[in-house]
Amino acid sequence: MNPRPTPSPFSPIAIGPLTLKNRFIKSATNEGMSAQGVPSKQLVKLHSALVAGGTAMTTVAYCAVSSDGRTLPNQLTFTQSSLPHFKALTDGVHQAGGLASAQITHGGCFTFIRERSTKRPLSASGGFNKIGLMSGMFLKQAMTEADMQQVVREFAQGARLARQAGFDAVEIHMGHGYLLSQFISPMYNKRRDQYGGSLENRLRFPRQVLRAVLDAVGKDMAVICKYSVTEGVRAGNSAEDGAQIARMLEEEGAHLLVLSAGMNAESITTMFGSSFPKENRVQQKNKIIALAMAIQRRKEPTVEFRELYLLEHARKVRAAVKMPLAYLGGAKSLASIEKIMAEGFDLVAMGRVLLAENDYVNKLESGASRDSICTACNRCVAMMYTPGGTSCVLGQPGDAVLNSQQAASR
């Protein structure tokens, strides 16, 4: 049982040096709203609307810390030249009454970018690259300590640039099969040195990244880690491992953990809690994404959505640490949100629900609504690759014209 008083989801909370006006975070989702690697005007419009609708903090997804760290060609990337466009986004969010978090990432071998500074994409271990089946990069390259220290510096610099761009928080992506996850996961990490083997060793490099980011911006910004509590496959980390990971990230000083699950290539239904509909694959025009979805269809059984589908796993983390935790995974009603609060979680992170209704939090607080209109159909995932970017199929599609314009352009 949770010994602490149950907070209202509409009450403020301190996360590191930051205070959020309520307990709702828009989770990072690939919106498909980057124009030549910088935020589009449509991305500014989306995130501004989310905080105007009551969400305390919105997370801008997949901001690569280097050109090599990108997964897709148009991915948002932190550089000096991109700062005016990120600043336009954070200005819009702040003017709408909310806070902005930048999710900083490096894809490692989970990439479709062939133009890179290394011969092969970097990862925890070398050898066959299963992600490369979709891009022709069939081999990956094990990182040296020099490579790791370079990436540590890139994460720290990415965090500094995020601060310069006006972001209030940074979220280090340690899940879903990207580079830091490739070190944490026994499926990817086959090293025999101090960065491989035991879970503690596999966390060594991600902890170095976290420490560098905390040292760089931790006094001014909330430093958040998002990771996969369970990887959803027998050969991967379990929820018991996820609890141990949380202890180590707490020990290192993270201000908040966002509790996700699953891996992009091996267990995407663990992440989303339900299967992708047939329509997502048939109508997908991006050949790489269509192939990835087709592979998932053959690999995974049909999974029906249920609310709070990750709660059983998240409970193990809650029991292991005292630090603030954000629950993510199938909260789409006031009853579910209140249950999360009652079980000792500090915040709730939502993706699909807020894409369906960007004013859902205000509706909850006013009593105008209890249940979200979101059906967890996952069609918003395929909508990320349309000209207007992601949107809920129950509403209007994104504005393709705004999505083609860089945020700071006149």
pLDDT of residue 385: 86
Inform me whether the pLDDT recorded for 135 exceeds 60. Answer: yes
- Amino acid in position 168: D
Q: Give the pLDDT mean for 354-379.
A: 96
Q: Whole-prediction pTM value?
A: 0.94
Q: Is position 1 within any domain?
A: no
Q: Which residue has the tokens 């030249």?
A: 81
Q: Give a yes or no: residue 6 inside a domain.
A: no
356: in domain: yes
Q: Residue 99 and residue 170: Cα distance in Å, rounded?
A: 11
Say how many domains are in the chain. 1
Kindly state whether residue 410 falls inside one of the protein's structural domains: no
Catalytic status, residue 178: yes
Tell me whether residue 332 is in a domain: yes
Give the residue among 351, 283, 346, 288 at the shortest CA–CA distance from 317.
346
Full residue range of the structural domain in which residue 165 is found: 13-403
Which three-class secondary structure state does DSSP give residue 117?
Answer: coil
CA distances from 242 to 39, 198, 245, 259, 396 (A): 33, 13, 5, 9, 38
Query: What does the block give as tokens for 22?
Result: 């309520």
Q: Check pLDDT > 50 for residue 101.
A: yes
Angstrom distances, CA of residue 219 to CA of 114, 156, 213, 216: 37, 13, 10, 8
For residue 302, name the pLDDT band (cuts at 50, 70, 90).
confident
Given the residues 62, 178, 227, 309, the one annotated as active site: 178
Annotate 268-325 with DSSP letters as a single string: HHHHHSSPPPHHHHHT---HHHHHHHHHHHHHS------TTTTHHHHHHHHHH--S-E
Q: How far is it, in rounded angstroms, from Cα 36 to Cα 41?
A: 12
pLDDT higher than threshold 50 for residue 73? yes
pLDDT at 293 over 70: no
Rg (C-alpha) for the chain, rounded Å, is 19
SS3 15: strand
The predicted-structure confidence for 2-27, as pLDDT tens digits, reads as follows 567 899 999 999 999 999 999 999 99
**Domain assignment of residue 134, yes or no:** yes
CATH code of the domain covering residue 164: 3.20.20.70
In the chain, the percentage of residues whose pLDDT exceeds 90 is: 87
Question: What does the pLDDT read at residue 294?
Answer: 56
The answer to whether 360 and 316 are in contact (CB under 8 A) is no
Q: Which residue carries 């979805």 as its tokens?
A: 293
Q: Tell me the average pLDDT of the chain.
A: 93
**Is residue 8 in a domain?**
no
pLDDT digit string, tens, across residues 176-232 = 999 999 999 999 999 999 999 999 999 999 999 999 999 999 999 999 999 999 999
- 4 located within any domain: no
C-alpha distances in Å from residue 268, one per residue of 157, 214, 298, 302, 343: 30, 30, 12, 12, 26
Q: Is the pLDDT of residue 290 over 90?
A: no
3 state SS for 28-75: CCCCCCEECCEEEHHHHHHHHHHHHCCCCEEEEEEEECCCCCCCCCCC
